[in-house]
Structure 1
């Protein structure tokens, strides 16, 4: 969610770790693209497809990315600051 990403990547970090930059298509997917895949999979045209995993991610998986791979670039000393910001936002 937006709130989770705002806490995980506050301020300039959101731009630095823009996940769209890691997707070969350089954009996020659209709801219609997922709906088109779902419609195909439940249609007669996909009657022989079973037990398959379909990545609908603009080529991100093929490029070797993972949702959190970019976070390894965050320096160790910054993790404590991120934790404090998250706890302050949660009020704990």
Structure 2
């Protein structure tokens, strides 16, 4: 149960980083002098995020599909690290 809770926590952490990055990116782009940008990348026909910058205003959206992918990426990272660290411990025991 503790392992599942840690995996869930890692997934939520990556999800939080995704949302934070999507909401901070337009501010950084405005500070760097970029204007008139529309970014709406898609994967499997669904958008990952939407960022629109027009002159001095911006609009940003972290989509549900992007949030789900970020959470699943966090789970994948947790289990890959667990697998790699377990494999490494097995190598050291020899």
Class of the TM-score when normalised by the shorter of the 2 chains: under 0.3
Decide which structure has greater helix share. Answer: 2
Name whichever structure is richer in strand by fraction.
2
Superposition TM-score, scaled by structure 2 size:
0.23
TM-score by length of 1: 0.23
